[in-house]
Structure 1
């Protein structure tokens, strides 16, 4: 009987680890959606979904949403293609900096990206009509999502068995023929999966379209906000929300199916080579290409923050901390940091618990909790935020005013990233070490702390960094929940961009540059902290 107690204890701990993410995500993800449905049903002026879709011209909104998301996905793949080649096959000084430059846009707040492309369109590209409209939106989406394609596809490329390429070359194939016959077929499923992910993210884009669309480009996401907040037409907003959920679920299933078709790869992986002589020319060309797409928008934002009125000035940065006019900005900075830290702790605890359950258990509870934990990454943040507004009216006032509400919502968006980075690391822990520690009398918690935690420490630190920067930049759901004393910096930037006056524009630009700087430092920390093998595994996953 004594020997059975540790096994029972481990099973009990495993069941608890599987239930915690399920309960957390159920409370913060399922409950708001259920509240939306209940409110729509109880509304005295409720109409059928078909009538609500007719009133809101849902088919046109769906067409625009799908069209711009599909175009963004295709363009992102085309722009990322040469960068994927450079990251996957070339070893050169500055490779770390390149990874930071590629990853940085993906973690930037969408409202900051919108501000950056507005600055680019009214500055360097002035007169080309790129300050707003569909063209500006597509360019901003490419800027945001190049990292998705580079991470996913380069991770698969780096794991392709080099002997297969060598065999093709031995049989007389040229380098291009070897790439077309051996490498490309193995990359196509990863390319398709990455494109499906980009489509998913762009179909739920909000901040970029709000700032760059100028009301002329309307998607399901922006119309949900307009119907729910602008007109307070609950049935119409709910009907559009569930139409978008169907779109998101379809994109998730497509990405999952395409990802499963990725061919088996080698653990040895491809060897990156240092270029010589004329081999540096394509490297230089790709670096210029990368800078044009990923650094020029950020540079335009920095320049515009220093020239808000056409002349050089640091007035915008002074306004951030000015005792008279910048108090709200300084308060927002402090609240954003503390809220993001709280969200990071919540995301790491819940995400790590879910990762442990995914790697230790295979039952229905663990699978359901894992699926629900990942789903919020793709579901509309505006839909969630609108659901929270409705839900808080049904709960005690103390719950709706709780200081933990915004950090918990921010953590919900970051949990999938924590899971994605810790599951591959946990899978690399040898089971024999756990068994040996358990045989020496260590309990489940002691085994995890003494065996697993030291081995996944670097990956966990990297996941925590990503969680912090994603929480810091969350905009969609937080827009609905922010109050006077809980306004985050992205929400304040969006508000400043909507106000007239040079001072408001200067403060918005300066605050955006501040967020870019913080995000860049965190991404650099992540790149230094995360082991290369774990990053490749997480990217391929």
Structure 2
């Protein structure tokens, strides 16, 4: 440790894979006024956004339930927690979320290897197929899975209808692509020379993967697992459609208490319980990430390699997962959209330009689709702006313990929107923002969807930015780069590398968001998921067929958005050299520095 400190003081900066740079390093330089203002804004703007559009509505609704007369009444906690039904619902929530998360991670690691570290024809198409389920409306997915397991369906003989197994399978269907893309995005940026060195020293492929690759991937795995657990624990539509009495969750219970029984007191208690569960999951995920966090040698130009014989197990698992778990429900959805009254027909798609039977809608499906794209684009711009600022703050490692704890709390706060009931958020928006007139504005939907998308953007960008060796920033600053140039040359390439993925997830999530949007969308300006829900729930073969056809359109549109972001992401992978890499790529000896100084 003493030797390392002396080297740092003398200006000898060493970074894995970059050699040695003999330059004077100004350790402990104080931040300028401009830097302080910039970092203050990076903290204040996201906190203001979250405070106004998340904390205020949610806390207002909780206050209506826990303090109806203006005085805090905690007696509801004892009453609600004394019910056997409450503990049964909490247990079911934890069991389903834990099982679905474990399966997603177990299947997602081989999927990330095949789809992101290997190269083969049709790879881009399979990436799009894997991502589509993540953005499908939950009601449509529930309907598709119900068609699989119900009597007369392909799996009807297994008696899975209304069981916990069907719900867990649907949750894995939703979140498998998220795990694959987050782990794969990190995996395809790892410097392969560490694995090559391990193989040269005699390690088997399995041992090299277990001792070199897996520890490098654990931060991304922990981040993805924490997010998937939150998404599974707060699943709403799919549980409502598929779940029987043994599969209800805290989310569906809040919906029943709020929308059906108008019991805001019990709903508020369960919302607090849900927040506690989410906070515990965040704490466990953060501890796991910190235990394995490392500064990695990341690159933006690592080429994919062809498939190998050793990849056969991973390829088999991935093929079985894609065909059996992802394609089968989507195939059922497509087949049902092509049938009406027992006959094959394209009438369901032709009717998308109408308002449905008995004018079930006020606008056509295509008009709703256009509105969804506009809302999603605005929500993505907001989410990326807030998310990038949050990631830059979270990627820093302050030496002061108080600041480090503040950053950890900052991280947990921006994961809370994933752990709060969509019913709570939607009702909170209506109660809190209605007097301001914002609920009548078109911007209410982009703002609500951005609240949901920001945590996904942060979780997508953060692992790569956190893995940057801070010495790269120090070297860039030593070479004369200002704070903005350091961010652009060191953090920028890694943000761009994962930026396409983050934008794709934000777009796709906003296009398919149903929970809060269902409470806020106006009848004359609905989004596509709201239209699908209304059509599927309307009587008549025409309306239900149109709903399924609209679900197919939504799936294809989401896949197209993700593929477009994949192309943008691929263009960002062109070999570039940051300022820090340029300054540290070669070993500069003292004589070389002196010789260059003489020619200035």
CA–CA distance in structure 1, aligned partners of residues 216 and 490 of structure 2: 35
Counterpart residue number, 1:299: 331
CA–CA distance in structure 2, aligned partners of residues 187 and 418 of structure 1: 19
Contact preservation (8 Å) 1:113, 1:208: yes
CA–CA distance in structure 1, aligned partners of residues 156 and 82 of structure 2: 39
C-alpha deviation, 1:265, in angstroms: 7.0
Pick from 53, 58, 62 the counterpart of residue 90 of structure 2.
Answer: 62
Q: CA offsets per residue over residues 18-73 of structure 1, 9 Å max, x none?
A: 21111110111211222123212333697521113335821111011111112212
Contact preservation (8 Å) 1:329, 1:489: no
2:236 is the alignment partner of 1:206:
yes
Q: CA offsets per residue over residues 182-235 of structure 1, 9 Å max, x none?
A: 656766776566444432221111011112125663211001011011111110
Counterpart residue number, 2:555: 516
CA–CA distance in structure 2, aligned partners of residues 189 and 117 of structure 1: 33
Q: Which runs of 5+ in 1 are unaligned?
A: 1-5, 536-541
Structure with the larger helix share: 1
Note closer, same or farther for the CA distance 1:276–1:241 as it changes in structure 2 (3 Å cut): closer
Pick from 499, 504, 508 the counterpart of residue 469 of structure 1.
Answer: 508
Counterpart residue number, 1:539: none
SS at match of 1:57: helix
SS at match of 2:119: coil
Matches within 5 A, 1:103-118: 103-118=131-146
C-alpha deviation, 1:503, in angstroms: 2.0
C-alpha deviation, 1:94, in angstroms: 2.9
Moved more, 13-22 or 454-463: 454-463
Pick from 94, 97, 100 the counterpart of residue 122 of structure 2.
Answer: 94
Counterpart residue number, 1:139: 169
Larger radius of gyration: 2
SS at match of 1:475: coil
Counterpart residue number, 1:396: 435
Q: Aligned residues, how many?
A: 523
CA–CA distance in structure 1, aligned partners of residues 348 and 529 of structure 2: 16
Counterpart residue number, 1:493: 532
2:568 is the alignment partner of 1:529:
yes
Pick from 356, 365, 371 the counterpart of residue 335 of structure 1.
Answer: 371
Note closer, same or farther for the CA distance 1:414–1:275 as it changes in structure 2 (3 Å cut): closer
C-alpha deviation, 1:425, in angstroms: 6.2
Note closer, same or farther for the CA distance 1:533–1:311 as it changes in structure 2 (3 Å cut): same
Q: TM-score when scaled to structure 1?
A: 0.82
2:280 is the alignment partner of 1:250:
yes
Contact preservation (8 Å) 2:336, 2:548: yes
Q: TM-score when scaled to structure 2?
A: 0.75
Counterpart residue number, 2:16: none
Note closer, same or farther for the CA distance 1:16–1:377 as it changes in structure 2 (3 Å cut): same
CA–CA distance in structure 2, aligned partners of residues 266 and 297 of structure 1: 39
Moved more, 196-205 or 230-239: 196-205
CA–CA distance in structure 1, aligned partners of residues 461 and 106 of structure 2: 30
Counterpart residue number, 1:538: none
SS at match of 1:48: helix
Matches within 5 A, 1:26-37: 26-37=51-62
Contact preservation (8 Å) 2:142, 2:242: yes
Note closer, same or farther for the CA distance 1:91–1:411 as it changes in structure 2 (3 Å cut): same
Pick from 376, 381, 384 the counterpart of residue 345 of structure 1.
Answer: 381
C-alpha deviation, 1:165, in angstroms: 7.0
CA–CA distance in structure 2, aligned partners of residues 12 and 182 of structure 1: 40
Contact preservation (8 Å) 2:391, 2:465: no
CA–CA distance in structure 1, aligned partners of residues 303 and 293 of structure 2: 19
Contact preservation (8 Å) 1:462, 1:525: no
Moved more, 241-250 or 130-139: 130-139
Counterpart residue number, 2:267: 237
Pick from 402, 406, 418 the counterpart of residue 457 of structure 2.
Answer: 418
C-alpha deviation, 1:398, in angstroms: 1.5
Moved more, 25-34 or 158-167: 158-167
Note closer, same or farther for the CA distance 1:121–1:311 as it changes in structure 2 (3 Å cut): farther
Note closer, same or farther for the CA distance 1:31–1:525 as it changes in structure 2 (3 Å cut): same
C-alpha deviation, 1:298, in angstroms: 1.5
Q: Which runs of 5+ in 2 are unaligned?
A: 1-30, 575-600
CA–CA distance in structure 1, aligned partners of residues 315 and 502 of structure 2: 30
Counterpart residue number, 2:583: none
Pick from 65, 70, 89 the counterpart of residue 40 of structure 1.
Answer: 65
Note closer, same or farther for the CA distance 1:449–1:202 as it changes in structure 2 (3 Å cut): closer
C-alpha deviation, 1:332, in angstroms: 2.9
CA–CA distance in structure 2, aligned partners of residues 308 and 7 of structure 1: 68
Q: Cα RMSD (Å) of the superposition?
A: 4.0
Note closer, same or farther for the CA distance 1:487–1:214 as it changes in structure 2 (3 Å cut): farther
SS at match of 1:75: helix
Pick from 350, 358, 362 the counterpart of residue 318 of structure 1.
Answer: 350
